[in-house]
Structure 1
Amino acid sequence: MAVDGSTQQAGKRWTDDGEVREERTLKDRAENTTRRVPAPPALVRALRSHVERFGPGPDGHLFVTRAGRFGRPLPAAYCKPVHPNTVTRTWAKARAKVLTADQIAKRHAARPYDLRHAGITFQLNAGVPATQVAEWAGNSVKMVMEVYAGCIDGQTSTALKRLMLATDEDEAGPAAKN
């Protein structure tokens, strides 16, 4: 999947034009640059299905309001990205359905943005090299390691096995490798 920017809900005081939302390009990249991000096949199917059913909104946004007051359809020119309040309410309902009371109390996946953190942590725990994780996340390796290295868990036995294999191969000599 290719990403080329985002719509931020910054608030009128924090945008250049006084609008609530602001379109931003990828951080620290030239305009019209894209970044490749891995997506599981099920997500790709769901997104393709959404685009087939609804089409993209103005400016290529996938998730926009398509109905106004009383459910009346809006002309495309008036469709805007889904309001953050709607996302927050929907997210809270989804969390209540799939998380335990303990997980909710501990604030697991408290915001949709937390999925980014979960994804990065998942990739590191799966053994994906930090350089690749950083590229997909659009961060530096330094940032990934500073923020997420403490989340890496469960790799001790795998790392020890790799070290033992490397040591055994070295002690056995080149003939044992063939």
Structure 2
Amino acid sequence: MRQEACERGAPESTEYCDIWERARKAVLSPREVESDLAAVPYSLRHAGVSLWIKSGVDPAEVAARAGHSIAVLYRFYAKILKGGQKRSNDLISRALDEGDAP
């Protein structure tokens, strides 16, 4: 499955996929190697963008760094943005307490 996915991402070259698979084997446990963890290089990009969003980086900045429009960012990463109501409420409350409200 990983090899097929890698080939879809780089159809003109299997060398890239071979190097990626060797790198995975060098740094992951045998159990992790058998999983889909970082199955293809794109997995790392997705993880990075997800981390930025969950860390509270402004979505416009995340989109710019990822080379996306905000619409694309929300379409593909909306599930990551859900569930942050408590954090959002805390940020709003803090701004109101500090008198920073617009």
The TM-score bracket by the shorter chain reads 0.5 to 0.7
Q: How far apart are residue 147 of structure 1 and its match?
A: 0.5
The structure with more radius of gyration: 1
* Unmatched tracts of structure 2, length 5 or more: 1-8
Instruction: Report what 1:108 is aligned to.
Output: 37
Matched, 1:88 2:44: no
Equivalent in 55, 64, 72 of residue 126 of structure 1: 55
As a proportion of its length, which structure holds more helix? Answer: 2
Instruction: Count residues in correspondence.
Output: 92
Distance in 2 separating the partners of 1:91 and 1:165: 45
Structure 2: which amino acid aligns with 1:89? D
Please give the residue correspondences for 1:136-155 in structure 2 after superposition, counting only pairs within 5 Å.
136-152=65-81
Equivalent in 27, 33, 41 of residue 98 of structure 1: 27
**Normalising to structure 2: TM-score of the pair?**
0.66
Maintained 8 Å contact 2:63/2:70? yes
As a proportion of its length, which structure holds more strand? Answer: 1
Greater relative contact order, per chain length (Cα 8 Å cut-off, separation 6+)? 2
* Unmatched tracts of structure 1, length 5 or more: 1-7, 11-19, 21-83
Distance in 1 separating the partners of 2:86 and 2:33: 31
Q: CA 1:167–1:114 in structure 2 vs 1: closer, same or farther (change >3 Å)?
A: same
Give the CA RMSD over aligned residues: 3.0
Structure 1: which amino acid aligns with 2:39? A
Structure 1: which amino acid aligns with 2:69? S
**Normalising to structure 1: TM-score of the pair?**
0.42
Q: CA 1:96–1:154 in structure 2 vs 1: closer, same or farther (change >3 Å)?
A: farther
Q: How far apart are residue 159 of structure 1 and its match?
A: 2.7
After TM superposition, the runs of 4+ consecutive aligned structure 1 residues lying more than 4 A away are 152-157
